[in-house]
Amino acid sequence: MPESADERTEWPTSPPPPWPAAVRATLWWHRSTPVAAEYGPEGPTLPITLAMMVDYLDSPVGPYREILASPVLRRGLIPAMAVPFIAVDSEPSVHGGRAHWRLPKVLATFSGDVLGDFSAAGGGWKVATSARPRGPELPIIGGLTFAQPGDDGSISRATARLRGKFRYARVGVEAEGPTLSRWLRPGTHHGIVITSGQMSTGPAK
């Protein structure tokens, strides 16, 4: 995927997982576009695109911000993300994503408030979100699993577990990029905002 291409191989090292962190985030989802499966994993999938903007207030590599998206979900007892696009504004986080979880992190710049108007931009791409929370703040306990392919065909699975508070939101999205514009739908989508949360991402297995 061009948005995740980076010839750089040397990055500041990061500690091994688990990675605990305090977070704020906006998540949204929509039915996958007809071509989204081209950017997803092999095997059975669910036609749901899941994306998020995350503000890590603290972490083992310090504070940083992140965008990630899964064009489709891996089908299973617990559906899993397969993430071909993920960007951050922390060099040690790039190392951590690639070394610990097979996540193809690249560097990007971010601006705005992740719970309101927010944007991320990198080489030849940009995503902007406008979150409009509605309704009461409620407790949330759960997790997200991601399953990343290796060059040898193996699958590396890890789970990020979250406890905190959230609100339902309508999330406006604009996306530009060589492939992002093909599978990350523009428009207003269902979503949630994590107003406060404690997250821990465990080791890959």
Break the chain into its structural domains and give their ranges.
Answer: 19-201
What letter does residue 33 receive in the DSSP assignment? P
- pLDDT the model gives residue 152: 87
- Of 82, 16, 85, the C-alpha closest to 53 is 85
C-alpha–C-alpha distance, residues 5 and 142, integer Å: 31
Q: What six digits make up the tokens of 132? A: 């409009």
Q: What six digits make up the tokens of 148? A: 């990343």
- pLDDT the model gives residue 59: 98
pLDDT in tens, 111-139: 999 999 999 999 999 999 999 999 999 99
- Give the residue ranges of the chain where pLDDT is below 50: none
Q: Is residue 45 within 8 Å of residue 74, measured between CB atoms? A: yes
- Output the pTM of the full model: 0.96
Residue 50, phi-psi category: left (phi > 0), alpha (psi -120 to 50), beta (remainder): beta
Half-sphere exposure in the Cβ direction for 106 (13 Å, CA): 19
**3-state SS track over 121-153:** EECCEEEEEEEEEEEEEEEEEEEEEEEEECCCC
pLDDT in tens, 156-168: 999 999 999 999 9
Q: What six digits make up the tokens of 137? A: 């703040």
C-alpha–C-alpha distance, residues 60 and 16, integer Å: 9
- pLDDT the model gives residue 151: 84
Q: What six digits make up the tokens of 61? A: 């590599």
- pLDDT the model gives residue 153: 84
CATH topology of domain 19-201: Acetoacetate decarboxylase-like (2.40.400)
